[in-house]
Structure 1
Amino acid sequence: MAESTEGIELLIRAARPTNAYEETMQRLLQSIRLGMIGPGERLPAERDLATMLKVSRDTVREALATLAEAGYVVSRRGRYGGTFVVERIPQGSALGGSATMPGAAEVEDVTTLRRVLEVGAAREAAGRDLSAEERAALAHTLEECSGSNAADHRRLDSRLHLLIAELSGSTSLVPLVANLRTRVNALLEAIPMLQPNIVHSNDQHEAIVSAILAGRPQSAAEAMLEHVEGSSALLRGFLTRH
């Protein structure tokens, strides 16, 4: 099992936290729940996490212990030991939070944020001169998402959206989109996962990525907006009363 640091780096580009423990918990938990560190993958060593997150090793150790108690990670000893994400990520709210069914206000607030953040991210990514490595990463992440099964789809969907945010060139945008994707996933978990919608979503992802790789900012923004509005229409249908 290879150690993975790329995903963690994606979600730690934020200002110095006011509460190191809570901020460390948030970044690690987001990285796991959003699939930046996948099930069964090994986290970086404590000293490396401390350096990456700019906190003490004691803070990292405390956060990992909490995640282990909540069932998100497991420690293994021996030559190939370390801290690993569990194979089955806990569902629901093992670390607290509301179990209230989301309603119209949450759907509309999330949709507005997606129009601002994710549509803008797609436009900016398409307007940049992406490196060969960035282009390859985007194509590979799209392929993984398109080929995923139902159990992995939301995790890999989030990974694609977070990569697009990273490719916008704004390091400040990434943690904002990470927080947003957590809210999006909470809404999606409250409705059925329907195969036709996954197929449609994959088609929209293809259009977004194609526009980014072709360097067409307006087309990328329009494709992302269509994707956002499609998801929102589905959520409104299941979660709001007319």
Structure 2
Amino acid sequence: MQRAHRANRPVQRVVRALTGAAVLPVMLVAAGCSSDAEPKSDAKQSASSGKASAKPSPTLEPAAYKELPKACDALGRKTLDDLVPKGLKSEKAGRTDDAGTRASCTWNSLDDNGVKGSQYRWLSVSMLRFDSDTVRGAASEQAKKQYETSIEDARSTADAKKVAGKPVKSVGDEATLVTYDLKKKEGLFKQQTVVVLVENVVVTVDYNGAGLAGEDAPSAKKLSERAVDAAKEAVGKVTAANDAEDADGSSASPSASPSKSTAKS
């Protein structure tokens, strides 16, 4: 029996060897299938990536105006003498973290006539410039939205009375004058807001006046005329600032030409 059992051992070894040999090709075949599948997947992914990278990015119209003038230089001395006769020394530039895209300046004037009362004036010039951006869109479109928002903000001022608005001709590409009365404890204030769109820039002139201590309120018509003249002058300064840049060698966008001529008219 022991001899028979020993005789069977070589057979068992052969069977084990054959069994192992049979398993090995199966593993190799499985491994081969796996390695063949991966390159195909990578090829599909590469093809997909190639298609994605080949998709052209949207082309945006470049910003027509690339500079802003200093807001406190937007109006000349003669204009300031007319609007805020006692306020030249009150000039105050607004804070900004980017003077190339936003700027503002304010002045105030108090003409004291003693027992006859006094006349108060307050003036503000602000400018916002937009650059084309793939997320926010073309510069001119952003400026148009801001122009409309600024008009609505002026029209919806809290406690405003007799609110009115009308388009203003020959100032920038578009301009709107918003007027209203605002009653305060000091007196009745006549507010004039002129919002102008010129290419990718929005210029806003806020001008108000009041008769204090018994003085009559100023004429809203005269205040409006002066505010419009100031807005036209400020727009001219924006155009001039960019004309100066063009003269230094920078190329201007062709679309800027019509508005520049309009702004100067």
Alignment TM-score, normalising by the size of structure 1: 0.23
Alignment TM-score, normalising by the size of structure 2: 0.22
Structure showing the higher strand proportion among its residues: 2
Higher RCO (CA 8 Å, separation ≥ 6 residues): 1
Structure showing the higher helix proportion among its residues: 1
* Greater C-alpha Rg: 2
